[in-house]
A and B are shown apart, each in its own frame.
Chain A
């Protein structure tokens, strides 16, 4: 839709085919770019379809609409659309019991379906003690809606999600990460159900108890659970990306609730991710990826050869986008003991992960169009799945987290990772002291 708006802006009429279920999405995109009157051609071609006969029939059925979009004279509103005020609800929005507040927020489409903590004036004020920035400071305007991510709005969504004030610096860095690549907005809305995965590095991880060890991405830790949840609410309430309106994920992704870990720096034999990405070890940082899939494997063998063979032998040609191998400290130690640096592991994976020449013919499949947009393979191009390019010079990442064990994993999808430094407020030490002991204490039975 953005291209059609660009074309219209250059003085040329445009007609865009839009799958009928994507009509709302296309209109939200058009409104966000200032052209709510854009003309589209709704049709019945399922996203990513390759069935030629269906496509030809669907195009034939709407071709007259295509012609009309390009030739039917414009209405007065299409020539000069009337000003439309964005919905800006009052700051104080509702008063009620816990149950009433929950129902009100749910019915307004402002939650992720789970119960919320009421964002009262007092709770939001306490949340904002986690930053030196004033309440009205705009961290970013987030596309597509260009909602203002002020400190107060971040804090409100953080309260709803159950965050502690010490998560504010991480949330602010997270918001900054969301705008670092224009593809991030598309990822949140995509049919591919890409979910943000957040990896925390540096001292803040321990200061706020982001889990890096056993079950790092499991439920059960307030930081891991609520930071990602707050970022999901910010995506909905500030960016304006809502399920089946703008977010057209087909299967959906449980990672959209919250998918957060800290790197297990103290047990990794290698430099932490943020150091690899240009930050100082004493810096705190958060890295964002948008994987659509998560795969776990038991390595063929737990030595370096077994681990590497499992990685290059388990990457599916149907994969797309960025890739990270998730290693436990045990896996990482096996590789380091075998003389492998992180850089060497990445280089090995790029070089040796291939689609065999006879892969598709053995499947009895002949592609009419190239299968994998992100990893084009074919005659004259070479069999490698990962192709360093100016857009993604480092297509394989290595993250070390989790407990001591052999299971390993992949996450894959989306644009290259983005890492942002987390800026801490002046009174950080006092804040940490106040909130650090909020941890579960499990009774033995």
Chain B
């Protein structure tokens, strides 16, 4: 930093944009247990995602044998943001599950 006390002073404006407060949403009620529940496995198109969910499915079957699983494969990073044409299909799948475990590959 300059120690020159005679250097010109600049009064400067902030480059950081204003943003409005966003209405906040709470989380959905949790399940009491996973036994007997239908667990949705949501997989995006990153290649680690299906492998993560394969490992998850194995553990669900081992630890919660009465639970069932159902998968949904996104064609992109995010089905809800980038695949508006599949909204009805995704919502239908979502209605049929009790909870979702998502793998996004990151």
Which A residues form the contact surface with B (CB < 8 A)?
1-19, 22, 25, 31-39, 45-50, 52, 55-56, 59-60, 63, 66-67, 70-74, 78-101, 103, 105, 108, 110, 118-121, 124, 141-142, 145-150, 152-153, 156-157, 160, 182-183, 186, 191, 233, 237-238, 240, 248, 368-371, 373
Contact = CB atoms under 8 A, between A and B. Distances in A.
Contact of B26 (A71, A79, A110): A79
Given A45-B52, A89-B16, A13 B99 contact: yes
Which interface residue of B10, B25, B40, B59 has the most chain A CB atoms within 10 A?
B10
Is chain B's interface secondary structure helix, strand, loop, or mixed overall? Answer: loop
Contacts of B30: 13, 70-74
B25 A147 contact: no
Given A12-B99, A97-B7, A369-B50, A34 B12 contact: no
Given A6-B80, A78-B26, A81-B24, A191 B1 contact: no
A71 B20 contact: no
Contact of B12 (A18, A22, A66, A94): A94
Nearest to A34: B22
Contacts of A150: 17-18
Contacts of A368: 51
Interface residues of B, number: 66
Contact of B42 (A7, A18, A50, A84): A7
A38 B16 CA distance: 26
Is chain A's interface secondary structure helix, strand, loop, or mixed overall? Answer: mixed
Contacts of B80: 2-3, 5-6
Given A7-B42, A74-B29, A369-B51, A86 B19 contact: yes
A349 B21 CA distance: 48
A367 to B, nearest CB: 9
Contacts of B88: none
